[in-house]
Chain A
Amino acid sequence: MTETDLVIIGAGPAGMAAARQAADAGLSVVLLDEQPGPGGQIYRDITRASPTRRALLGKEYDKGTSLAEGLQHPDITHISGAVVWQIEGDAQVAYTANGVGALVTGKRLLIATGALERPMPVPGWTLPGVMTAGAAQILLKQSGLVVENAVLAGAGPLLYLVAAQMCRAGTPPLALVETQAASDRLSALRHGAGALRGWRYLLKGLGLLRELRRAGVKRYTGADDIAIEGSTHAEALRFSVKGRTHRLPCDTVLLHHGVVPNTQVARGLGVPHRWHAGQGAFCPERNDWGGTPVDGVFIAGDGAGIGGAEAAANAGRLSALEIARQLATLTLAERDAAAKPLRRRLRRDLAARPFLDRAYPPYAGALSPADDTIVCRCEEVTAGDIRGMARLGCRGPSQAKAFGRQGMGPCQGRYCGLTVTGLLAAETGQSPDQTGYYRIRPPFKPVTLQELADIAPDQLTRGD
């Protein structure tokens, strides 16, 4: 078993920045991450991406280079291809890497597991050929592959970015179908806080939209009644604008209406979560340093609330400073001096969030899908099934599980949890906080008996 000061889960911007800050402050760090290289999703494959790919992905992607280089430090052990499946008290983390189960024990734990795409249950969203917009970006970053004959549907700036990157690759999408109305952006701009930062985002968005116009990408806004047609594969996207129905034949549909914190590991450790109305998601309870009510457990980055890559990196650094203070390699004064500029930058980066949340609200049709739409992809449970469970008296997701198995499939609720909470809340008249979320338990990812047996010797020496 490996012992270290700090165990970090996730090598995205928050995890990478925290690892370096902690090592610079004199701590030993073990950084566990599922991917073959550092970067998380936003900087996926940053250390290996070809010049062609980098040119397409642009300056924002390049920012990941220095974070990844920062991992070159004698006190940082980055274990790639590591899938974490269980965590016990005192940051004892069980994971599998290269097919072998292993344990690492830290004095502190930092969860930096980032975001997931907000589930977007629409008719046909389970068909092959339907992916998240993030998935298309990952195909581009990691494999240099661009999807062809694609339609993008949903809301949010990521749609523009993905579409623009496809144009630069010479394979523009067929169309951009947006669910938000122009009025959403206008009301967002009247939203004082962050509107100025918001303008900058808006300008960036306008630049991307210009790229799309030049490439001849058709754009629809205010779309509703989104459905994907096809029997064994996506064949067309159907939607309506102001009551008029459109049908776009295509081979690929990319869905996106924002990202939400990936709370799986934090919930598994018993960190309390609260509904964040502005973000339309649950966020973990934490203090200014990312510390949670669970002893020794910190959370930084989008997993704590969506703030984007730069905010994530600085939040990771702040957590690392406080952890170093707790483990006495930094004094209080040193911690605060180092934290000051980071906090300023963090505040600046977070200022635009309320604007973005208002300008690109989630697609209402996917928050409250029609009765026959599948909401749990794994167990093929529909929105109507969930509403029926509420009428039978189910007050929360964990109780409802027993009636329909939603949340009990291999994804463990990652792509149905928020939808199920929303449906139950609407049907029972409770708030999302009252309704709650699935109870998450380890293993967080599937584990073989052999991998479980691999850690037995370590467990025995601990006398567990």
Chain B
Amino acid sequence: MQRLDDPAALVQVRFDGTTLELAEGGNLAAELLAVGVAAFRRTPVSGAPRGPFCMMGACFDCLVEIDGVVRQACMTEVRDGIEISRPSAGAEVSND
């Protein structure tokens, strides 16, 4: 990803046990993509990796668990200190 503007202030979030620095107030799905996160979750049916597809809240492929609640990453703003994990429903989650 190429970034056009100087990024906003960075805040720390936890994703799947790793600390990431993301732009505060940014779109969570976009900012995760920007730091190289590709697979946001694994599907409950086959365990296949999935990432953002539509970026407009319609496809539900970018689902992540934020502070215990499953949310659409593309409909969520980055806030300092949020705890993000891959939804645990269904298949075994492995760390890619």
Interface of B is mostly: loop
Among candidates B4, B38, B48, B53, residue contacting A132 with C-beta atoms closer than 8 Å: B53
Query: Does A34 contact B4, Cβ atoms closer than 8 Å?
Result: no
Contact of A53 among B4, B43, B51, B53 (CB under 8 A): B4
Instruction: Write out the residue numbers on chain A whose beta carbons fall within 8 Å of the beta carbon of B39.
Output: 128, 232-233
B2, A170: Cβ atoms under 8 Å? yes
**CB <8 Å contact, A52 and B48:** no
Our pick among B4, B58, B69 for the contact of A262 (Cβ within 8 Å) is B58
Question: DSSP majority for the A interface?
Answer: loop
A1 at the interface (CB under 8 A from B): no
A413 smallest CB distance to B (angstroms)? 10
A27-78 at interface with B (beta carbon < 8 Å): 34, 36, 41, 50, 52-53, 56
- The listed residue (A36, A50, A53, A414) touching B59 by CB distance below 8 A is A414
Whose C-beta in chain B lies nearest to the C-beta of A131? Answer: B53
Residue from A36, A83, A134, A144 whose CB has the most chain B CB atoms within 10 Å:
A144
Q: Give the distance to chain A from B61, nearest Cβ to Cβ, in Å.
A: 6
Decide yes or no: A144 and B58 within 8 Å by CB, A36-B77, A135-B53 being known contacts: no
Q: Provided the pairs A129-B51, A145-B30 are in contact, do residues A116 and B58 lie with their beta carbons within 8 angstroms? A: yes
Hey, what's the 0/1 contact readout for A397-409 against B, CB within 8 Å counting as 1? 0000000000001
Using known A-B contacts A139-B33, A380-B43, determine if residue A130 contacts B56 with beta carbons closer than 8 Å: no
A126 to B60 Cα, complex, angstroms: 12
Chain B residue with Cβ nearest A41: B56
> How many A residues have CB within 8 A of the partner chain?
47
With contact pairs A143-B27, A146-B2, A410-B63 given, residues A138 and B46 touching in the complex (Cβ less than 8 Å) = no
- With A and B bound together, what is the CA distance between A135 and B72 in angstroms? 14
Given A36-B77, A132-B53, A411-B60; A148-B1 close (CB under 8 Å)? yes
Residues of A within 8 A of B (CB): 34, 36, 41, 50, 52-53, 56, 83, 116-117, 126-132, 134-135, 138-140, 142-148, 169-171, 232-233, 262, 377-380, 409-411, 414-415, 445-446, 448
Selected A-B contacts with CB under 8 Å, 12 pairs = A34-B75, A53-B5, A131-B54, A135-B54, A139-B1, A143-B26, A145-B2, A145-B33, A148-B1, A148-B2, A232-B49, A233-B49
A-B contact sample (15 more), CB < 8 A, given A378-B43, A411-B58? A53-B5, A126-B48, A126-B53, A126-B61, A130-B53, A135-B54, A135-B55, A135-B56, A139-B30, A143-B26, A143-B31, A380-B43, A411-B59, A415-B54, A448-B69
